[in-house]
Chains A and B, each alone.
Chain A
Amino acid sequence: MSEDSRISPDLAERMARATPQSAALGLRAVSAGRDWAIMAVPWRADLVGDPESGVIAGGVVTTLLDQTCGLAVSSRAHAEGRLTGLATLDLRIDYMRGAEPGKDIFARAHCYRLTRSIGFVRAAAYEVDEADPVATAQAAFALTPASSVPSRS
């Protein structure tokens, strides 16, 4: 993570907070570069998906991964001087294990390819070590007219 953060903290913060759902979850942008982004979500009792174990719901991880993948695509588009809105085309998530109760979950997404109309992204969600992920994801985003910046679906 030695790259400079080329997306302004202001834009990252706006991307993180612009949507009511990300605000409701307490999502925050941690850092972002020319084709990547890191976001986090805090563990909260009202987000638990399995009351027996206290593990946070998979749906929270889904939203974190979707949002972080979107931020990675936006960062890359921004770095290339393109203003665009985004719509998720598809999102594939593999759940390796339950997240540890009480810990923040981070997601790191890399937009490894951006064409004229599509952004391709890989991501992982983890508490501490990206090499020991809670979940991994693969997503494709359609770039939409810039009128929908900075929000996204």
Chain B
Amino acid sequence: MSDDHARRLAALLERVPYMGFLGMRAELAGDEMTAVLPFAPKLIGNTVLPALHGGVIGAFLEMTAVCQLWLHAPEKRLPRTIDVTIEYLRSGRPVTTYARADVRKVGRRIANVHVEAWQDSRDKPVAALRGHFMLADAIGAGE
């Protein structure tokens, strides 16, 4: 991973409208990507607590997986989500949220990815995702 990857990742975040809608960013340290979701009032799903919307947290986890997979082959199309299971562990407070993806397996067509999101402390995750993603090569090719 190089500065080139960092630039391409930044360009991807700008090119995908929904990532801009969320206000999502990403930082690279070697090949390890940390996705960053700065707090914004429109991300709130519970005004009483207050807490981030569960859908926003799920979407952020999914986008983190997609970005991490895309980094392996940044010249290709984005991987397509097949299925995700999102577990909500703690209420997402109105602060910056971080996420890291662990690519558990990359097959010829399908990848399995685990993602965890946290806020102040990495050992107190707010949510986790496990999912399968169709890789770019397999999209539209007898998938």
With contacts A21-B43, A47-B21 taken as known, whether A67 is within 8 angstroms of B48 at the C-beta atoms is no
Partner of B17, one of A47, A89, A95: A47
Contact yes or no, A88 B54, CB < 8 A: yes
| Interface pick from B26-34, B79-87, B99-107, B108-116 | B79-87
Q: Is B63 an interface residue, CB under 8 A from the partner?
A: yes
Q: List the B side residues contacting A57 at CB < 8 Å.
A: 16-18, 59, 63
Partner of B86, one of A20, A52, A91: A91
Contact with B along A95-112 (1 / 0, CB 8 A): 100100000000000000
Contact yes or no, A62 B43, CB < 8 A: no
Using a Cβ–Cβ cut-off of 8 Å, how many residues does chain B contribute to the interface with A?
A: 40
Instruction: Name the prevailing secondary structure of the B interface residues.
Output: mixed
Contact yes or no, A148 B46, CB < 8 A: yes
Q: How distant is B74 from chain A, measured CB to nearest CB, in Å? A: 14
**B residues neighboring A (CB under 8 Å):** 15-18, 20-22, 41-49, 51-56, 58-60, 62-63, 77-78, 80-88, 91-92
**A residues neighboring B (CB under 8 Å):** 18-24, 45-52, 56-60, 62-67, 85, 87-95, 98, 147-148, 151-153
Top 10 A-B residue pairs of the complex, sorted by shortest distance between their CB atoms: A59-B59, A63-B55, A57-B18, A21-B53, A24-B42, A153-B51, A88-B54, A66-B55, A153-B46, A151-B46
